[in-house]
Every structure is written in structure tokens, then in C-alpha cells.
Amino acid sequence: MVSSVVVIAGVGNGSGTGGAAARLFAKEGYTVALISRGSESLNVLASSINTSGGKAESFPVDAYGSDEITAAFSSIEARFPSPEYAITAAIFNAGHGVWKPFLQVTPEDVRESSKVNIEASFAFSRAAILAFQKNDPLPTTGAKGTLIFTGATASLRGNVVTSAFAAGKFALRALSQSLAKEFGKEDIHVAHGESADMSKGIATNNTRGDRNTPPSGPVENPKPHSLLSPESIATSYLYLVNQDRSSWTWELDLRPAHEKW
């Protein structure tokens, strides 16, 4: 039997959306290939998935750039070759956030936002689509593969400190729309899941891409139901992957019930 592989880029220390998706997809029987910076926390996540009966392997990168992502994907395909394995899902959850008034934004901020949010996502998409094209449509959904991008409120609108961040996130959403149009007819599902101001409390500063307001420090006592849970986002990602091709979602806007925005 062919084993389905999900590739997830951007898992931080495993406490956010990437980590939750890794755990959920592993529980569903996927082999999980993790791409992220910081091999230590990647290995912690992979071995905790392994010890709970799943199968995960880490593919650390030094930086999110085109060459690094392409090389990581090659290692994944070498480690999990067809016909025993097929990459059927890929989640781009990496992001680079900059929250500064415009006149404080440096050329380096702009370069880094472009590199992670645009250059890396293009390389990730290219590798994922080339892998999906080798698959037969899955009998269950009719899809050859599903590519999901993690967006943010800043994918939809700019705000006072988000010029560099929103520019990167708008670009990611534009890529997602373009790929959904171009590859839908090849039975490749492309979806963008933007989520609200998820978790100011648990977000790491540079890897989370979901704040539209300046970091205001940990939320000590968040209002109940005003923060998205990474596990719920992961459940929605699994739902996207399981949709059949007669009714694909291409943009999913997740908002906590009690969000103020």
C-alpha cells in the first residue's frame, strides 16, 4: 500500500499551527516530513510524534530561501521514494513578521519578508506541485495533492505597523489564487487558510505570520474563545485535504467566535 506523505514547512518550536498539523496528520496515518529552522526543536517534535505511534522525520534548513527549500524537498523525495510513498499534501506555514511603523522599516526587513513569504513559498509550491503531478488522483477525493498556505489577517488588509508584513502576506495569497486557477484542472487542490490574530501569547516573534497588530506581550488572561487554537486550525487543514474535487475551498477565513477586529 502506498503511504501518504505530508510535507510541512514552518513548525517553530512545535506549539503552533505547524506542530498541531504535524501531530494530527500523523494520527491520520500520514508520514510527516518537517521542514523548519532549528533542528533541535524539529527533532523533539519528530520524536514525540514517533513515540505516540506516528512517523515523522525532520529536514532542517538554515534559512528559508529557494535553494534551501528545494534541497529539503529533494531529501524528502529521496527518503520517501515512490512507489512506496506519495507526497499528497504540503503545508506552507513559514512566515516572517515585521511589525514597525513604516519609517522604521529597513531594507533588510523588506528583504527578509520577501525571502520567507515570497521566495520560499514559490520554491515550496514548485516542489510540491512537481511531486503531486506524479500521483494518480486519489480514489477518495479525486485530488492528486493538496497545497495549503497559512495566511493571516495581514493577507487581507494592511494596518499601521504591517507594511512589510502585509506586502509579503498579500503576495502569498496572490500566489495561492494563481496556483488554484492554474492547477485545479490538473486535479491539484490549492487553498489559502487565513487566520485571525491567533495567539499573541504563544506566537514566536518571527515565525508566526498571523498578527496584524504590534506585539503586545503575552496575553495573560485572554477572553475565552477570542484566540484560535492551533489544533482547530489543523482540523480545518485536514478538512481541506479531505474535500472531494467537486467542491473545493480555495480560501478559508478562520476567526475565533469572540474575536474583536
Residues forming contacts to ligand NAG in the complex (CB under 6 A) are 13, 15, 43, 46-47, 50, 55-57, 202, 204-205, 215
- Report residue 183 as a C-alpha cell: 492547477
Pairwise CA distance, residues 112 & 98, whole Å: 9
Could you tell me the smallest distance in angstroms from the CB atom of residue 15 to ligand NAG? 4
Nearer to ligand NAG, 129 or 227 (CB): 227
Could you tell me the smallest distance in angstroms from the CB atom of residue 109 to ligand NAG? 13
Could you tell me the smallest distance in angstroms from the CB atom of residue 206 to ligand NAG? 7
Pairwise CA distance, residues 179 & 126, whole Å: 10
Angle at 97 between CA 92 and CA 99, to 5 degrees: 160
Pairwise CA distance, residues 164 & 196, whole Å: 18
Neighbour count for residue 29 (Cβ, 10 Å)? 10
- Per the rule left: phi > 0, alpha: psi between -120 and 50, beta: everything else, 75 is alpha
Q: Helix count (H) and strand count (E) of the chain?
A: 7, 7
Could you tell me the smallest distance in angstroms from the CB atom of residue 97 to ligand NAG? 10
Give the full edge-to-edge strand order of the sheet including 55-60. Answer: 55-60, 31-36, 3-9, 85-92, 145-150, 188-195, 251-254
**Nearest Cα residue to 255 out of 149, 152, 159, 146:** 152
Could you tell me the smallest distance in angstroms from the CB atom of residue 123 to ligand NAG? 24
Could you tell me the smallest distance in angstroms from the CB atom of residue 106 to ligand NAG? 15
Nearer to ligand NAG, 76 or 175 (CB): 76
